[in-house]
Amino acid sequence: MGYMVCVGYCCGCNSLMHFNPHYVPSIRVSRKDGKWVPDPEGHREPICEACVAKGNEARAKAGMPPIPVHPEAYSESEEG
Ligand SMILES: [Zn+2]
């Protein structure tokens, strides 16, 4: 049995983060003028805890349900 940790950049704030690829929240984006922009036809990129929290604050103000975050979203993944 082993563990896997993915390291990558948040597509919301570009901070380096580690995450579990099976559970991390993600959004569909595409690259435009060197930046990630939301795109329903784009590919999925991970977002960090801080960006999810900010997004959930905005969603709450808009009366929308929060984006759920799995307890293992930002931890290592057990493989094996
Ligand atoms: Zn972020």
Number of structural domains the chain divides into = 1
Ligand 1: centre distance to CA 52 (Å): 7
Give the pLDDT of residue 36.
86
State pTM to two decimals: 0.81
Which range marks the domain in which residue 18 is found?
Answer: 2-79
Please report which confidence band the pLDDT of residue 3 belongs to, taking 50, 70 and 90 as the band edges: confident
Residue 7 scores a pLDDT above 70? yes
Write down the residue that tokens 């003028």 correspond to.
33
Please report which confidence band the pLDDT of residue 1 belongs to, taking 50, 70 and 90 as the band edges: confident
> In whole angstroms, what separates CA 70 from the centre of its chain?
11
pLDDT tens across 26-80, in order? 999 999 998 889 999 999 999 999 999 999 999 999 999 999 999 999 987 776 5
Ligand 1: centre distance to CA 7 (Å): 13
CA distances from 74 to 34, 40, 62 (A): 26, 24, 26
Record the tokens describing residue 41, joined without a space: 């036809």
C-alpha to C-alpha distance for 7 and 18, rounded to whole angstroms: 4
C-alpha to C-alpha distance for 30 and 43, rounded to whole angstroms: 7
